[in-house]
Amino acid sequence: MKPHIVATLTEARSALDALLSNPQALSAIEAAGDALVNAFNNGRRVFSCGNGGSMCDAMHFAEELSGRYRNDRRALPAASISDPSHISCVGNDYGYEAIFSRYLEAHAGAGDVLLAISTSGTSKNILAAVNAAKARGMVVVSLTGRPGSVIGGLADIDVCTPGGQYADRVQELHIKVIHILIESVERALFPANYA
């Protein structure tokens, strides 16, 4: 067997074990789930954004809420900022840094939640989205991968999941957190699905 297969899985397990033994991160995950539940209970919306693989995670998060996660229940108002026509229009007219913030200016309001995903915690367009969200009175939850990041520092709730030297381990932890957040929402709003 090629040694990198076992090494990769071992490294991933170590990253997950580190997250499990981090009380601050676990508390942040719980607080993020509570913020989502509060928003939905108050008729508000949830938005998500990220770049590259993090955009895919943002899309996955939103579709599990508006579609279905495990069992049938009503759709929840969640959207990822990933419309290609919006991104190409705003990128062309205002620059790539504005692709997420401009969307929030058009669609989001006070009490809505932004899930801002950036493995580095420094992505300029995510930072612009966080600033736009804060200006609109939104609750900002960040998913980052480096402690002390600028985006994490600005967020109301920062779920930081350091996974090692590269972003792939961080992204693997992010998808686990995303699934926990969705389950937290479902358990609170649709308890019969978990009876």
| Cβ-count burial 108-128 (b if 16+ within 10 Å, e if not) | beeebbbbbbbbbbebebbbb
Two tokens, residue 54: 């993090």
Count structural domains, the chain: 1
Domain that holds residue 159: 3-194
Q: Which residues are annotated as a binding site?
A: 51-53, 60, 64, 92-93, 118-120, 123, 171, 179
- Per-residue pLDDT at 112 exceeds 90: yes
Q: What is the CATH number of the domain that holds 23?
A: 3.40.50.10490
Above 90 in pLDDT, residue 66?
yes
Q: What does the pLDDT average to over 70-99?
A: 98
The pTM of the full predicted model, rounded to 2 decimals, is: 0.97
* Mean pLDDT of the 171-185 span: 98
Question: Confidence band (pLDDT; 50, 70, 90) for 166?
Answer: confident
Binding residues for substrate: 51-53, 64, 92-93, 118-120, 123, 171
Binding residues for Zn(2+), as ranges, are: 60, 64, 171, 179
Q: What is the pLDDT of residue 154?
A: 98
Q: How confident is the model at residue 164 (pLDDT cuts 50, 70, 90)?
A: confident
